[in-house]
Chains A and B, each alone.
Chain A
């Protein structure tokens, strides 16, 4: 009798979905980004019953949910949590999962699945999300037994947030989430196949230190690994101690203060002349947490051809993947930098080098055309930087506007810059800004988007309307897919195939239909008059800013060329 009664108590108490909700609370999750559907009905019921435990953000498309979660993760430094239903719900998440994988964003994604008994029968809203996401996740799980659920959730968060972060998918069949758990469950786990190495090998640190004090032309390349490790402070100390020039990758912006005199700005395809030439001419390249992406290196043959290459990365597979590395250091960036900082500081003999870098900075700064009355997009971004005092969280899509934001917004702090780097996802910026704003309610959050990208995910204006989230959507509107058009201009003899899109909605009216203030800015005068106020009030806003249509991003390294072969370096 007694045993039966206790079993009934448990039945009443916990379904698989309840265990999931408990596990999420146990992980300290307070914000969920998700969209309900058939296979996650039990989960949504449990969320409903756990009222007050979570702020559930309902986007209007699953892609909006996952990009918002990415923005949230990027700014908060915690895992973004996403829920989607089976089949189309899950497949709509795929772009965001791939994006998070490329940019090492910690996400835990829960997808519903049809009941175990009908998996493999092409049931309604069934998709093989395990098969689909295996190559684009750090790891994925399909929960086979209800008792496994708490452990799987705990493992998923552990894997997503430690080592090199990344997305983890947990696929939950409907019968697992709906039936009661009668067994005692434990969330203890042991992952013998996953033991990230966090501490650097002291011998390699010594080697790097020796190379550094000998170097005549050293340069530091900081990637997003510095930001993930929370190592900006250590990086500043390191740079200050040795007075090193430092450049960052696209995703590494903010890891070192962009307005600091030792900062060369971003390197790579659209990086600054001084940064790219420093990488080309250096004799010691210290890469901390960058993966030597092709957009950074250009033609590998001409990348740092005379340099000793030191590479600090938490992921051993990144070391030596693209470039032979003389000083490999598998470590968390923070631990490696701390260890380096504990070595005796010795002044470097690199005055000549620093002078030549300084000369490059002065002789070849970023430049752009300025026409009468019309708005140059670069100038627009400069103004955004001024009006937000360099303190805003800036999110972008991919393309020209992204590069201009990267060039002209000088991030002084980490976790302010939210962009789709590796995957280059259009439609990322706006939903990411929603997540970013939720993670940091006090900061101004500007979604710098293209007119093309914004139209891919603009349905999320509903979320701004619903919550009065003061996200500022700044459409850098050139009525074209600017980067595609630029490449067609340069490499396809100006055959603008499908890249000029002059049919657009009236963005102001569109915003107003969501009860969001909409602004159209067409002249420099209007910009100077309206933008400061719009960017600093506490209301959401959609700003349709018309910019010069045929502006190109410079400097530029053409595909297949080396870092020293930049074009458009001078007016």
Chain B
């Protein structure tokens, strides 16, 4: 199962190595990882998307991360109300004839063309990973020359619904 785990870490040299080395050593699969500074000086935030077998493996992952001295806080935010975004840049083969066609495809995704050359355009898209996937799928037939994704970054929404607010809806009822 895919989980989104964030770790608040001391921004020290080697900390990324500690964390990724730890995950590799314990055989956790990292799908994506993004790191950047936070609002606090000297503190960075890492966001991982990991693929784990079950809850016990997931628990091990967060516990092992927590044991790191440079790791201040670990949260599995998958089941929280979150905002999660990823940025991708896609260089698509395009001559002037199909440029507008591409424009039409990317528009509903609120993506933008950020570079144009004779043979290609570069599209920038931001959103949840599945949205990015969907756009890439649509652009693939035109020929993708180059693709770069930042990996997901995420945090919890300002308001977390209380347990009582969760209701299960069913069409059968």
Contacts and interface: CB of A to CB of B under 8 A. Distances in A.
B56 A324 contact: yes
Interface in B60-111: 60, 63-64, 66-72
B10 interface: yes
Interface string B8-46: 011001100110011001000000000000000000000
Interface stretch (A128-136, A202-210, A481-489): A128-136
Contacts of A315: 67
Given A159-B69, A193-B69, A194-B69, A317 B60 contact: yes
Interface string A139-169: 1001010000000000000010000000000
Contacts of A142: 13-14
Interface in A301-339: 315-317, 320-321, 324
A317 B62 CA distance: 9
B56 A320 contact: yes
A192 B10 CA distance: 10
B72 A192 contact: yes
**Which of B18, B21, B63, B67 has the most chain A CB atoms inside 10 A of its CB?**
B67
A507 B131 CA distance: 73
A193 B60 contact: no
Nearest to B56: A320
Contact of B21 (A134, A159, A320, A324): A134
Contacts of A317: 60, 63-64, 66-67
Instruction: Report, as a range, how many residues of chain A touch the other chain.
Output: 10 to 19
Contacts of B21: 134-135
Nearest to B70: A193
B59 interface: yes
A3 interface: no
Contacts of A192: 72
A60 to B, nearest CB: 32
Given A139-B69, A194-B69, A321 B60 contact: yes
Given A134-B18, A135-B21, A135-B25, A320 B72 contact: no
A362 interface: no
A192 B9 CA distance: 10
A461 to B, nearest CB: 37
Contacts of B14: 130-131, 134, 142
Contact of B66 (A138, A139, A316, A321): A316
A193 B60 CA distance: 17
Nearest to A130: B14
Contacts of B25: 135
A12 interface: no
A546 B113 CA distance: 81
A1 interface: no
A191 interface: yes
Contacts of B71: 193
A192 B12 CA distance: 14
A244 B69 CA distance: 38
**Which of A135, A142, A193, A316 has the most chain B CB atoms inside 10 A of its CB?**
A193
A144 B66 CA distance: 25
B63 A316 contact: yes
Interface string A158-183: 01000000000000000000000000
Contacts of B67: 315, 317
A28 B92 CA distance: 66
Nearest to A319: B63
B72 A193 contact: yes
Contacts of A159: 69
A188 to B, nearest CB: 16
Nearest to A164: B67
Nearest to B22: A135
A191 B18 contact: no
Nearest to A317: B63
A315 B71 CA distance: 15
A530 B150 CA distance: 73
Contact of B69 (A130, A144, A191): A191
Per CB-CB distance, the 7 closest pairs between chain A and chain B, nearest first, are A317-B63, A139-B69, A194-B69, A193-B72, A193-B69, A135-B25, A317-B64
10 contacts: A131-B14, A131-B17, A134-B21, A135-B21, A139-B69, A193-B68, A193-B72, A317-B63, A317-B67, A324-B56
